[in-house]
Amino acid sequence: MAKREVESQTRLSRSNDIHLDLTEILVTCRMLPSLIIMLLLVPCCYGENPAIQVSLTNKGLQYGRHIGAGLMQEKLLGMTFPTIRGHVDTFLGPIPYQLVHTTVTQCDFPEPSIEFYKDVTGFKVSLTGLSIALKGYWSMRYHYVLLSGAFKLGVFNLDLTSIAEVGRDANGRLNISSVSCNGTVGEAKMAFYGRSSWVARHLVDLNSIKGEIEEKICPAVKQHIVDMEHHLQEINVSFKVNEDLAVDMALTGLPFMNSSSVRLDLKGELYSIKHREIPPFKAKPFTLPEQQASMLSVGLSEFTANSASYAYYSAGRLQVIINDSTLPPGCPLHLNTSSFGLFIPQLPKLFPGLLMELQVQAKATPNFTFHNGSIKLDLLNWTIKAFAIEHNATRTPLFTLNVDSKFSGKAWIDMDGKLKGSIAMDNIKLTLASSEVGPFQTAPLENLAKMSLLPFLAKVNEKLECGFVLPSTPHAKLVNSVLKIEEGFILLSSDAELSQRNTEWNQKTTMYWTL
């Protein structure tokens, strides 16, 4: 790297308080581990199988590193620091100074490295050969004498290595702490301009500036890790899904890390916001397969889907009232005793010309099971209670049917990146539980139920065929996604695409000065 020699310096008295906060630039290295730590912003609980597993591979880690480096380079160029104040000790006593409008004018920023560090279950970040050029204005005041001018400062070949560990605190929340840090500056050069520049050159010791910067590198990095730890403690355990449900995304254990990936085991329980109850079933263990070709993978077990079913069931949300006004337009059958006389001949004789109402209610939790290539949904032990609506609005019970039904479905991510699927009815069985109008055959009503469901399923499949866009944020989206239904869980493997103004990495260039 070509650097013009700064004007020769005379022997200067040592500066004991050169607070050049150039280390604020170095702290932007925090963006690299921050991209990874943001995946770990959930608290911890222990002693249970996870329902959701999330794995970040080395491919995803290095993509985050590359994006983070580009963002840091953008942030550095043109950065301006607030006024820097301090003093230098001389034989005349301390002389106060200030540096204003200190701005980064050039930056040789080699792309940092980041890796999984399984020895401490954390991350290791290394930066080698960072060089920064700054310019600004200086002033010194001794009693009534004011000296001022411009300056240029160069910090060359700065190296930084930091190791951070992720763990848990006494409350079971994820935390992060600094394990080790080492920062060195290869060389510092400074030039002063203005009529009084010779005074500044005689007062400022460049070795002292270099030492001050080195002393502040690691404390600044460690302080940022402390700031991230404070942020972790503010993260909620649960997140609202909709008006009825929230999801508990607590970790069931510490992150598992090896040299190529980190895996998070999450509770993944959906529960009713108003009526939370613990499900009477447990999450079954499953193994998330290695997907090194993708940046990240997510495994969603049957427990998560079934916890949502139980939440709705325990909150009394799995029930509906059906009357004639709720039937779809054009339905050939009306919900009255005359129409139902086709299936129950004695009904219109006992209750002539009355409207009817059906109360459909679940008596057990709907159950999801995941098998290789398919999803099964069992809706067992449902009831249909039929009532006649008297002219005085009294509801008179007629009969009660037990309903067992089974459905199967498939899900996939198409070439257009949309989540698509299909659903089919495997079986529906109606049996008579009780009757206030006498016995009757349920087979005709069973056939009616099957025929009534077919148009509904057709509309559902039409929407599923159109597909749904995968979740995204203004700054990130999933790409190259693949969805597989495995035994006991659903596996989503995907790459991620983060947006930034400049996605091209600028390779290191030689920094030239005009002093």
Domain count, the chain: 2
Residue 57, both tokens: 């591979």
Report the amino acid identity of residue 454. L
For residue 34, give the CATH number of its domain.
3.15.10.10
- Point out which residues pair with 133 in neighbouring strands: 106, 154
Beta strands in 332-417 (DSSP E): 355-362, 367-371, 374-389, 395-413
Residues 229 and 326 in one domain: no
Residue 7 lies in a domain: no
Question: Measured on CA atoms in the order 39, 40, 41, 43, is the torsion positive or negative?
Answer: positive
At 278-302, the pLDDT tens digits run 999 999 999 999 899 999 999 999 9
What is the structure's pLDDT at 7?
36
Q: How many CB atoms lie within 10 A of CB 26?
A: 24
pLDDT of residue 207: 79
Residues 226 and 361 occupy one common structural domain: no
290 in any annotated domain: no
Strand partners, 92: none
3-state secondary structure of 311: helix
Quote the distance between the C-alpha of residue 64 and its chain's center: 14
Domain match, 190 and 333 both: no
The 8-class DSSP code of residue 44 comes to: B
Residue 197 phi/psi, 5-degree rounding, is: -65, -30
> What is the per-residue pLDDT across 334-369, written as a single tens digit (0 to 9) for each?
899 999 999 999 999 999 999 999 999 999 999 999
Which domain range does residue 386 map to?
319-498
Residue 172 binned pLDDT confidence (cut-offs 50, 70, 90): low
Domain boundary among 188, 216, 235: 235
Q: Which of 196-200, 380-384, 428-432 is the least confident region?
A: 196-200
Q: Are residues 209 and 347 in the same domain?
A: no
Query: How confident is the prediction for the chain on average, in pLDDT?
Result: 83
The reply to whether 380 and 485 lie within a common domain is yes
Is residue 294 one of the residues assigned to a domain?
A: no
Residues with Cβ within 8 Å of 308's Cβ and at least 6 positions away in sequence, in order, are: 245, 270
Kindly state whether residues 228 and 338 are assigned to the same domain.
no
According to DSSP, residue 8 is labeled: P
CATH of the domain at 330: 3.15.20.10
Query: Roughly how many angstroms between the first and final C-alpha of the chain, as a whole number?
Result: 16
Taken as a whole, the chain contains a residue count of: 515
Query: Domain check: are 470 and 344 in the same one?
Result: yes
- The pTM of this model reads 0.80
Confidence class of residue 312 from pLDDT cuts 50, 70 and 90? very high
Identify whether 509 is part of a domain.
no
Q: Same structural domain for residues 100 and 200? A: yes
Within a domain: residue 324?
yes
- Look at residues 219, 235, 251 and tell me which one is the last residue of a structural domain: 235
Q: 228 and 363: one domain? A: no
Q: Looking at the structure, tell me whether residues 118 and 218 fall in a common domain.
A: yes
Residue 65 belongs to some domain of the structure: yes
Domain end (from 194, 219, 235):
235
In a domain, 191, yes or no: yes
Amino acid identity at 199: V
366 belongs to a structural domain: yes
CB 59 within 8 A of CB 295: yes
The tokens for 364 are 């057990």
Query: How far, in Å, CA of 262 to CA of 53, rounded?
Result: 10
**Residues forming beta bridges with residue 136, ordered by sequence position:** 151
pLDDT in tens, 440-474: 999 999 999 998 888 889 999 999 999 999 888 88
Residue 80's pLDDT is what?
81
221 and 341 share a domain? Answer: no
- Asked if 228 and 370 sit in the same domain, the reply is no
